């Protein structure tokens, strides 16, 4: 009995399928588990398939604990696969300071190719690993990072420690999302030194008390400000951004998204929802949110 002939796919089509598997969303940090499994299986078919699948498999990396972190750090320190890494999600580390040396090893290894970075680990002034983190971020800032997202406090301080020369360090940064900080004139002045910044998201923020009268300029390329939660004094910030955008001849949209309309009424649940929107690349697509209010004048 003759064997059933195997179906044949043109190699060009296989290449297109593999490339598409690596693009779950334009701004996403993580691929689905099924996509990762499929890419791993494809890489084992043959040397040719391995060569096609590996760059896509390593394009977007999610590290969700110290074990995966340690393994990936060893891989990146010795492997040429590091040149394929474009996006990294560091998640579920919280207070696990012992993982920070591995995190720094990875950041230093992938800095030349990395474009998107999501971090969820503490950056504390009294942390004994602070100098390692500063060195790693200095190398990142000198390269081609276009998107930086923090789920932790104090990262605004890390970015701003180069002020007033911050713009010369983060020349390619186009999207920025920060969490838990106060917005004042100094903060806005510092942001204004970022030459390529187009979108800034305040995942959770507040104004100092008493709230300031805003006079600071805006980043020259800024076109949108995204706010999760309408904090006390939000109207003053919105009006300043709208007015300044009009005065310079390049209006800036301010969009306020309420997690209550999508998640629940628990602050913890709302925070988790907001950060999930970032990791899936959806926070930047503000027109998809029910109840989102955008002002542009």
pLDDT of residue 198: 94
Q: Do 136 and 108 form a contact (C-beta atoms < 8 A)?
A: yes
pLDDT at 171 over 60: yes
| Nearest in space to 152 (alpha carbons), one of 102, 202, 94 | 94
Does the pLDDT at position 227 exceed 70?
yes
Average pLDDT over residues 206-212: 81
What are 37-71's pLDDT values in tens digits? Answer: 877 887 888 888 888 888 888 888 888 878 888 89
Query: Where are the strands (E) in 66-108, listed by range?
Result: 87-90
Contacts of 10 (CB under 8 A, 6+ apart): none
Degrees, nearest 5: CA angle 18-24-28: 130
CA atoms of 60 and 72, how far apart (whole Å): 13
Helix (H, G, I), strand (E, B) or coil at 62: strand
Residue-range domain boundaries for the chain: 11-26+34-57, 27-33+59-295
What is the mean predicted confidence (pLDDT) over 270-280?
72
Over residues 221-232, the mean pLDDT reads 88
Beta strands in the chain (DSSP E): 60-63, 87-90, 116-119, 147-150, 175-182, 199-206, 224-228, 253-257, 293-295
Could you tell me the pTM of the whole model? 0.80
Lowest mean pLDDT among 3-17, 53-67, 143-157, 233-247: 3-17
Q: pLDDT of 116-170, one tens digit each?
A: 888 876 665 455 666 777 788 878 776 688 888 876 655 656 666 655 556 567 8
Residue 26 has pLDDT above 70, yes or no: no
For residue 110, the tally of other CB atoms under 10 A from its CB is 26
Q: Report the chain's mean pLDDT, rounded to a whole number.
A: 78
pLDDT value of position 6? 45
pLDDT, residue 240, reads: 93
Residue 250 to residue 242: CA distance in whole angstroms: 10
Ramachandran bin of 221, using left for φ above 0, alpha for ψ from -120 to 50, beta for the remaining angles: alpha
Q: Which residue has the higher pLDDT, 96 or 120?
A: 120
What local confidence, expressed as pLDDT, does residue 266 receive?
Answer: 58
The confidence score (pLDDT) of residue 129 equals 62
Q: What gap in Å lies between CA 42 and CA 54, rounded to an integer? A: 9
Q: What is the pLDDT of residues 281-291, one digit of tens each?
A: 777 877 777 77
Q: What is the pLDDT of residues 172-196, one digit of tens each?
A: 889 988 877 788 898 888 888 889 9
Nearest to 68 by CA among 41, 37, 89, 46: 89
């Amino acid at each position: 009995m003759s064997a059933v002939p195997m179906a044949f796919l043109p190699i060009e089509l296989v290449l297109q399928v593999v490339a598409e598997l690596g693009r779950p969303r334009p701004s996403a940090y993580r691929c689905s588990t099924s996509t990762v499994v499929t890419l791993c299986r494809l890489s084992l078919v043959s040397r040719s398939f391995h060569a096609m699948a590996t760059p896509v498999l390593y394009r977007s990396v999610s590290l969700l604990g110290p074990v995966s972190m340690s393994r990936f750090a060893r891989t990146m320190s010795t492997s040429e696969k590091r040149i394929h890494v474009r996006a990294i999600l560091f998640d579920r580390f919280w207070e696990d300071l012992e993982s920070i040396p591995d995190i720094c090893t990875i950041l230093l290894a992938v800095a030349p190719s990395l474009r998107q970075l999501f971090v969820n680990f503490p950056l504390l002034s009294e942390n004994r690993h602070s100098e390692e983190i500063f060195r790693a971020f200095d190398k990142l800032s000198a390269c081609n990072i276009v998107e930086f997202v923090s789920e932790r406090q104090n990262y605004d301080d890390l970015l701003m420690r180069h002020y007033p020369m911050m713009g010369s360090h983060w020349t390619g940064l186009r999207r920025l999302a920060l969490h838990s900080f106060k917005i004042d004139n100094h903060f806005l002045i510092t942001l204004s030194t970022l030459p390529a910044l187009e979108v800034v998201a305040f995942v959770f923020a507040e104004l100092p008390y008493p709230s300031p009268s805003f006079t600071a300029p805006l980043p020259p390329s800024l076109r949108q400000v995204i706010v999760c939660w309408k904090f006390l004094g939000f109207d003053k910030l919105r009006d300043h951004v709208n007015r300044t955008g009009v005065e310079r001849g390049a209006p800036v949209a301010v969009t306020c998204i309420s997690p209550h309309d999508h998640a629940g009424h628990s602050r913890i649940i709302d925070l988790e929802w907001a950060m999930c929107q970032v990791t899936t690349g959806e926070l930047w697509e503000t027109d998809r949110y029910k109840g989102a209010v955008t002002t542009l004048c």
